[in-house]
Amino acid sequence: MKYKRVLLKLSGESLLGDNQYGIDHKKLKQYSEEIKSAVESGVELAIVIGGGNIFRGLQSKDGAIDRVQGDYMGMLATVINSLALQSSLEAIDLQTRLLTAIKMEQVAEPYIKRRAVRHLEKGRIVIFGAGTGNPYFTTDTAASLRAIEIDADVILKGTRVDGVYSADPEKDSKAIKYDHITFDEVYDKGLNVMDMTAFTLCKENRLPIIVFNMNKPGNLTNILNGVPEGTLVNI
């Protein structure tokens, strides 16, 4: 096992599957099975999932909804996704705990760093919901912050492409894939790995990021076993 403790970052849009809105239950089940394989290999796993399949705070930028209110709505969307993922994981006999940055004790535990770490040590999957609990911060930033707080070895960013490219591979057939790239090279080339706040947090705390295709079966477990997949970003 290459890593002892990891944080998996998933986008809310990844749960769309073939839908235009909401949660594709086939996709949710697929991810749950991938996560189960990873946990059975012995890794301590925490998860942050976005809410873009339900609501994005930036949807409020036209002025109809105040930006701060919109961001809080986005945080609540992440909790909906987190609850769905928790239910799906528990349906296949995995122990989970959902911790949220906004208190809502009827459905989740409040986020406390020591409690989160203790759950991980006991072999439970920890899901972090509601972002950082603050507007103007993305779930990428929440993932970076929580990974640093729990002393994760790496952030695994699951996407629908198989790594970091010189351009969008879905739009540019000549885009070049990087197997390994440094934080400074990402800055210099203007590549989009995470939002700048999240990315800078990782760089300053020397926390590596692996960007990989979560939709390819076995990729997550392969990474945990040290098989090169996707793109490694580090110092």
Q: What is the mean pLDDT of the chain?
A: 94
> How many structural domains comprise the chain?
1
Interval 107-148: pLDDT, tens: 999 999 999 999 999 999 999 999 999 999 999 999 999 999
Give residue 170's pLDDT band: very low, low, confident or very high (50, 70, 90): confident
CA distance between the termini of the chain: 22
Share of the chain above pLDDT 90, in %: 86
Q: What is the rounded distance in angstroms from the CA atom of residue 28 to the CA atom of residue 18?
A: 12
Query: Which tokens sit at 178?
Result: 């990087």
Q: Which domain holds residue 118?
A: 5-234
- In tens, the pLDDT along 192-207 reads 899 999 999 999 999 9
Find out whether 81 and 54 touch, Cβ atoms under 8 Å. Answer: yes
pTM above threshold 0.85: yes
Residue 72 pLDDT greater than 80, yes or no: yes
Report the CATH number at residue 32.
3.40.1160.10
Strands 164-165 and 177-178: antiparallel
What is the average pLDDT across 45-52? Answer: 97
Nearest partner of 208 among 144, 161, 127, judged by Cα: 144
Q: Count other Cβ atoms within 10 Å, centred on residue 169.
A: 16
